[in-house]
Structure 1
Amino acid sequence: MKFISSKLLILFFFIYFLLSFPLYSKATTDPIVVPEQFTEISLTKELHIYLDNNSEMPDEEILQKQEEFLSLQEANVSGDLSDVTYWIKVTLLDEASFNRELLLELKKPHLSSVELFSVKNESLLLEEKMGYQYPFNMREIDHRNLVFPLQLSSQQAETFYLKIKTNSFFQAPVSLWEPIAFSAANYEAQTLFGIYYGVMLAMIAYNSFLFLSLKDRAYLYYICFIMGFMMLQLIWDGFAFQWLWGDYPWFALRSNAFFIIWNSLFSLQFAKHFLQLKTYAPYLNKIANIFITICSILLFVPFILDVTTSTRISMLLATVFVILLITTVMKVRLYTREAKFFILAWSLLFFGVIINLLAAYKVIPLTPIALYAPKIGSLVVVIVLSLGLADKIKRITAEKEREARKYYIQTLLQNSFSQLGKIKDFPTLIERGLQSLMAVTKYEKGIYLVYENEEWKLIKKTSEDITINQPIPLYKPSLEKKLTNLDIHPEAFGIEDDINTLFCIPITTEQHTGMFVVYSEEWTELQSFEEDIIFPSFTEQLTLFISNIKDYQLLKETVMYDHLTKVFTRKYFIENADDLIVHAFQSEQPISLLLLDIDHFKQVNDNYGHAIGDLAIQFVAKNIQEVCKENGIVGRFGGEEFIVLLPNTTNKQASQIAEKLINAHRQQPFVLENGPSLSITISIGVCTSDQYLMSLEDMFQCADEALYEAKNQGRNQVVVYS
């Protein structure tokens, strides 16, 4: 760290030397000669200045102060922050053979007030005034900088004065332009500015997307910083006053101080979260929180105090912020990958800001390099942090893909296990188990081996083109771990196929020892996290399923019947009903379906509670079974709704059975234990298929329409679908 600090110190003094090297020569009092052909003449080195310290001198009196004017370099006022009125004198001698209009550009857009005077008949004539304290639309030339048209006479020396007042740092970079050249240069500058601000806006949009995607507050603070920094650049470049608040001079004068404080606040917030100060530098985190609180309070100072005081406060905060951030970076160093990108990106920006602050405090000259150093550094931040964010996104994306793959595997296994758990015969279970394992591993072939009588036997393969040598020469491996092609050669399984990837899962129970083997001709090895999910889950579940096959009958009973009513469940009813409908069609026999619903069942639940409601459902189910069990199958279709399928039953016969059910409930009330009896009625819709094949779904739809009609007609009745 000491070595790095020494190198940075040497680099700093080297840059200081370059920036301090004078870029000007001694000014002269002779008129500035304007050639007939030119594009731009920089007048800054030729300017003379007079300081009205009290700002009380009448304008005309400046003509009597000629001997008190100093060259701009001798006055050394660049970077001043005071209430002085600055008078700048420039004398021009146009060599053109004709009178013409030229443009005087003052490249300091956020000066408060600039008045241009010409000298006519030994008196001052106000030509134009502009600045932040005047609305933008007062300007004769619509431009972000302060641009004055000058009427020059051929071969004559003419003197002009600029009267300048400012609440920010004083600077007077002045140029004289030929109008067409000015337009061309302005077009080029607009293009460069467009690229710069386009990059900044793209970064705002990019990080906004990241914030919405990742919900990481560091991105929100970074967005706020970029927005604030871009606003500062817009202010310093003159675009903010030109396009945003040109009609609001009061805010324009205070906007610079406001966004300096804004930037100090959110850049430190970003650094605190991005560099994880709470974890790596708790003490600095507390100091940062104090500074952030102060900035949050002082954010309103520009709108309360005068502009000069606000500017001084904002610059003081910016200085403290830079010192605090440098301390933070030195403390955190390179703990995280993010910190490396942060330090690389922000070091040049901070260096640019430091140069700008040193120029503001007159430690170094306020040169163009010093003036635009923060803007250059901000582009470095955008580019490098873009790489850092892309790196983070790449890592986050990889992690998300891994988590997505985990979720996919777990979901696929869960769904597979859900289906496998319903299989009741061993061959089907093994076949479906192989298919599930192939699906989750994405291997295209698989076999299942059983270990019996000290040898392995093939009992299932997923494709006829799989060639297995019998007997299989496989020794009995450890059955407590997974096997891959790194552990065992495919020839050990008797596989003759040309394969490159293999995955095996052994299965052991008290009565069974087997092994699932899936493989592929492609190089598609599973990642370790995939194996760690698949192996234990598959082993545990398939072992359990194979063991449970012997208990099939008991399990079958549980699956077949509704626990409350003891009639068929909806699923088992549908499975059986489909077979019965197909058989009826093939036998050319009619088949009928009854759809029953308990009338006003909600009132039973509301008035007597769900326990009585369950008893009512059981009461109705018992009646249905007594009437219909001998004629067909009965199922509970959900809630208080039942369904009955009656094979070899005509429409008339089905109607009679339905009426019998209606009467059974009319004649036999539902008696509550130790309480009154309730009149439970039902509504029934009837549908019969006797001329052409109707699916269960079609019959149900028809019966449901009939049931709906029965309810509309007052309930407690039968309606036959016509």
Structure 2
Amino acid sequence: MIHFAFFFVLALYSTGAAAVGIPDSFPVVLDENTGRLDISRHLTYYEDSSSRLNISEIMDRWPKIASEGMPEEAYNFGFSNSTYWFHTRVTNQSSPNDRWIIEGLYPIIDRMEMFVVKADRSIARQTAGDSVPFLLRFRDHHNINFFLKLSSGQSVDVFFRVQTSGAVQMRTLLWDSDRFSSADHQERFLLGLYYGLLVCMAIFNFLIFVSIRDTSYLWYVSYILSYGLLQFTLNGLAFEHLWPESPWWNNRAVGFLISTGMCCVLGFSRSFLALRENAPRLEKVFLAFMVFFVVTGAASLFWPAYGLVIRVNTFAAAVAVGFVILAGGLCLYRRFRPARYFMLAWTALLSGMLLYTLKTFAVVPANFITEFGIQIGSAFEVIILSIALADRLRHMALKNQQVQQEMTEKLESRVAERTSELEAANRQLEALSSTDGLTGVFNRRFFDSRLEEESARCRRQGPMALIMIDVDHFKSFNDNFGHQAGDACLQRLADTLTAVVRRETDIVARYGGEEFAIILPYTDAIGASTLAETVRLTVERDLRFEWEGRPVPVTVSVGVAMAPGGRSVEPGELIAAADGALYASKQAGRNRVTVHPPGNLRPEAGEPVTP
């Protein structure tokens, strides 16, 4: 009885296989533990270069035309104009589940058809792809998916017909329907976090751009938006949520967004790395690439042969990525500070992009890392560039502080310089206002001010003396030789007085006309009379004035007045006393010194001391 049952099951299984007549060396077998199964390596394939064969012809010829052996990885044929057929047999050996989902993990295949061939050779057909209306899919899901009803003990042959202008990739999963729904929720949650991060970074950088008007941030925002939309399209989410009724645009959007994204990448890199200063030749290369991607972006929308455009576009993107990395490395070698974070961040992103590109050209196998390499790399990029942006802002703030400090120091230096110039000018003006224009000694205005100060000091600290000097017979001098001779005489006299009076505290001033005065702080009667006699004698012996070749004798009369320390004295009294002594010298015969007695400032008290 047991043997009979065994042969009955074997006969039933053989009958199903024989009904279709398609051999399969590695069928897909489902059991009670099957929830998710990668059936990529269970597929055999045939390349229909003419794209003319139909399912009936394929079924009849499959034993002769199908590939042999189990592939090591999921099929990835890269770009091709051919139509590819794939086949596997699915047997539900013991699973109680009869509802299954077959998912294609490459959502941008243009058109993918699934044919389910039952034992009675009846055929069920389903169609999906990014050039097929989204509503035709069994599940509202961003990946291509088909429904398979297969009860326990049943077997079916499954054929896939794939035709696309892009890459042909056949990483395919078979799901328990419930497990598929659960995994879909988890995937959408992770993708939501990822795209949420991109949106936050775009808003954050746009606000920074609005604040500081740095075009690097505007380029970066443009890149994030175009790149995020490209990923949204590559993941099939854009077709699901943004334009489910526009398969033509969905098919063309990938090429257009690659061009837009690369143009923004190049623009951001050119601005962020300051290539105009750091690598001017590379900047020209970047500009040429940007123009190229503008052209290919337009071609993606309007050129009839879209397959050629997407291939050229993808290859150019890979080349441009290499130049971006080269530019970052060159700026890093030249010690450009922002290049450190740039290289770290963009190496992560561009490595993911490079893996994706190589996967598209079938250079590397299609798997989770290569399929989602851009998302993985960009997640790290966003984190690292956040640090880079913070460092950039900090560096800009420090630079602004440095510039402000330099400007402040420069301004302070200029203010100090101008202040010094102003003080010098004021001193010059003060000197001009206090200097006699003819003789160069202090004038009457300065004399009055200084005499008042010294009189006040005398009351507190010590004695002082005032000497008044007048040129003898000066009126006759002017009458005989002229006023020019008189002016020259006064100039020579002023020079003589300045040479004799050497203390810095002593003041020589022109009192008026031919009369001069000398203020002598901290000077007693003996010192004042001695200096007065020196002045008189020096003028008489050493002045030696000549006019028009004729020697002209010049003498002076001198009056000295004293103000002892510790008592109050008015400047007018001191002048009157000195002037009285001077008058006494003239009355006594001129060319002599008269000293007014100390302590008595009456003008008539002076007596001549030098005959």
Letter in 1 for 2:38: S
Deviation per CA, 1:483-536, whole angstroms, max 9, x where unpaired? xxxxxxxxxxxxxxxxxxxxxxxxxxxxxxxxxxxxxxxxxxxx8987876797
Deviation of 1:330 (Å): 3.5
The residue that corresponds to 2:148 in the other structure is 150
Deviation of 1:351 (Å): 2.3
Are 2:146 and 1:162 aligned?
Answer: no
Are 2:356 and 1:359 aligned?
Answer: no
Are 2:286 and 1:282 aligned?
Answer: no
Are 2:240 and 1:242 aligned?
Answer: yes
Contact 2:130 2:239 (8 Å CA) reproduced: yes
The residue that corresponds to 2:515 in the other structure is none
How do 1:602-681 and structure 2 match up within 5 A?
none
Contact 2:48 2:85 (8 Å CA) reproduced: yes
Deviation per CA, 1:266-318, whole angstroms, max 9, x where unpaired? 11111111111111212222222222222222220111222211111111211
Deviation per CA, 1:81-112, whole angstroms, max 9, x where unpaired? 11222222121111336562111111111111
Greater relative CO (CA pairs within 8 A, separation 6+): 2
Letter in 2 for 1:322: V
Are 2:66 and 1:69 aligned?
Answer: yes
Residue among 253, 258, 261 paired with 2:259: 261
The 1-side partners of 2:134 and 2:310 are apart by: 22
Q: 1:124 to 1:74 in 2, by over 3 A?
A: farther
Q: 1:75 to 1:197 in 2, by over 3 A?
A: closer
The residue that corresponds to 2:372 in the other structure is 372
Letter in 2 for 1:313: V
Q: 1:350 to 1:98 in 2, by over 3 A?
A: closer
The 2-side partners of 1:324 and 1:30 are apart by: 45
Deviation of 1:66 (Å): 2.6
Gaps in structure 2 of 5+ consecutive residues: 1-22, 427-611
Q: 1:290 to 1:123 in 2, by over 3 A?
A: same
The residue that corresponds to 1:104 in the other structure is 102
Deviation of 1:221 (Å): 1.4
Aligned partner of residue 254 in structure 1, secondary structure: helix
Are 2:53 and 1:57 aligned?
Answer: yes
How do 1:298-313 and structure 2 match up within 5 A?
298-305=296-303, 306-313=305-312
Deviation of 1:28 (Å): 6.7
The 1-side partners of 2:105 and 2:382 are apart by: 26
The residue that corresponds to 2:324 in the other structure is 325
Aligned partner of residue 233 in structure 2, secondary structure: helix
Q: 1:35 to 1:99 in 2, by over 3 A?
A: closer
Aligned partner of residue 169 in structure 2, secondary structure: coil
How do 1:711-722 and structure 2 match up within 5 A?
none
The 2-side partners of 1:28 and 1:57 are apart by: 21
CA RMSD of aligned residues (A): 2.9
The 1-side partners of 2:161 and 2:54 are apart by: 11
Residue among 198, 204, 220 paired with 1:206: 204
Deviation of 1:196 (Å): 1.0
The 1-side partners of 2:194 and 2:352 are apart by: 17
Deviation of 1:539 (Å): 11
Contact 1:117 1:124 (8 Å CA) reproduced: no
Contact 1:53 1:84 (8 Å CA) reproduced: yes
The 1-side partners of 2:95 and 2:343 are apart by: 59
The 2-side partners of 1:102 and 1:363 are apart by: 32
Letter in 2 for 1:50: Y
TM-score scaled by length of structure 2 = 0.60
The residue that corresponds to 1:350 in the other structure is 350
Deviation of 1:55 (Å): 0.6
Q: 1:374 to 1:539 in 2, by over 3 A?
A: same
Contact 2:128 2:137 (8 Å CA) reproduced: yes
The residue that corresponds to 1:32 in the other structure is 28
The residue that corresponds to 1:82 in the other structure is 80
Contact 1:45 1:72 (8 Å CA) reproduced: yes
The 2-side partners of 1:137 and 1:269 are apart by: 38
The residue that corresponds to 1:225 in the other structure is 223
Aligned partner of residue 47 in structure 2, secondary structure: strand
The 2-side partners of 1:241 and 1:533 are apart by: 62
Q: 1:126 to 1:83 in 2, by over 3 A?
A: farther
Residue among 37, 42, 46 paired with 1:41: 37
Letter in 2 for 1:388: A
Larger deviation, residues 77-86 vs 197-206: 77-86
Residue among 174, 177, 189 paired with 1:176: 174
Deviation per CA, 1:368-420, whole angstroms, max 9, x where unpaired? 322222222111211111101011122334556788xx6xxxxxxxxxxxxxx
The 1-side partners of 2:276 and 2:421 are apart by: 49
Q: 1:533 to 1:283 in 2, by over 3 A?
A: closer
Deviation of 1:541 (Å): 8.3
Letter in 1 for 2:366: L
Q: 1:378 to 1:133 in 2, by over 3 A?
A: same
Deviation per CA, 1:41-61, whole angstroms, max 9, x where unpaired? 111121222222211012211
Aligned partner of residue 127 in structure 1, secondary structure: strand
Deviation of 1:357 (Å): 2.6
The 2-side partners of 1:341 and 1:141 are apart by: 43
The residue that corresponds to 1:270 in the other structure is 268
The residue that corresponds to 2:499 in the other structure is none
Contact 1:79 1:359 (8 Å CA) reproduced: no
Contact 1:115 1:126 (8 Å CA) reproduced: no
The 1-side partners of 2:390 and 2:39 are apart by: 46
The 2-side partners of 1:88 and 1:97 are apart by: 24
Letter in 2 for 1:55: S
Larger deviation, residues 38-47 vs 528-537: 528-537
Are 2:393 and 1:390 aligned?
Answer: no
Aligned partner of residue 118 in structure 1, secondary structure: strand
Contact 1:232 1:260 (8 Å CA) reproduced: yes
The 2-side partners of 1:396 and 1:282 are apart by: 23
Contact 1:109 1:145 (8 Å CA) reproduced: yes
Contact 2:74 2:170 (8 Å CA) reproduced: no
Larger deviation, residues 113-122 vs 85-94: 113-122
Deviation per CA, 1:432-473, whole angstroms, max 9, x where unpaired? xxxxxxxxxxxxxxxxxxxxxxxxxxxxxxxxxxxxxxxxxx
Larger deviation, residues 306-315 vs 31-40: 31-40
Q: 1:173 to 1:366 in 2, by over 3 A?
A: closer
Contact 2:37 2:174 (8 Å CA) reproduced: yes
The 2-side partners of 1:376 and 1:94 are apart by: 36
TM-score scaled by length of structure 1 = 0.51
Deviation of 1:198 (Å): 1.2
The 2-side partners of 1:359 and 1:97 are apart by: 35
The 2-side partners of 1:126 and 1:366 are apart by: 29
The 2-side partners of 1:75 and 1:205 are apart by: 41
The residue that corresponds to 2:133 in the other structure is 135
Contact 1:49 1:72 (8 Å CA) reproduced: no
Q: 1:364 to 1:303 in 2, by over 3 A?
A: same
Letter in 2 for 1:346: W
Q: 1:221 to 1:362 in 2, by over 3 A?
A: same
The 2-side partners of 1:355 and 1:120 are apart by: 40
Contact 1:261 1:317 (8 Å CA) reproduced: no
How do 1:541-560 and structure 2 match up within 5 A?
none
Deviation of 1:366 (Å): 2.9
Higher-Rg structure is 2
Aligned partner of residue 105 in structure 1, secondary structure: strand
Letter in 1 for 2:228: M
The residue that corresponds to 2:450 in the other structure is none
Gaps in structure 1 of 5+ consecutive residues: 1-26, 407-526, 549-722
Q: 1:286 to 1:44 in 2, by over 3 A?
A: same
Larger deviation, residues 331-340 vs 261-270: 331-340
The 1-side partners of 2:160 and 2:308 are apart by: 25
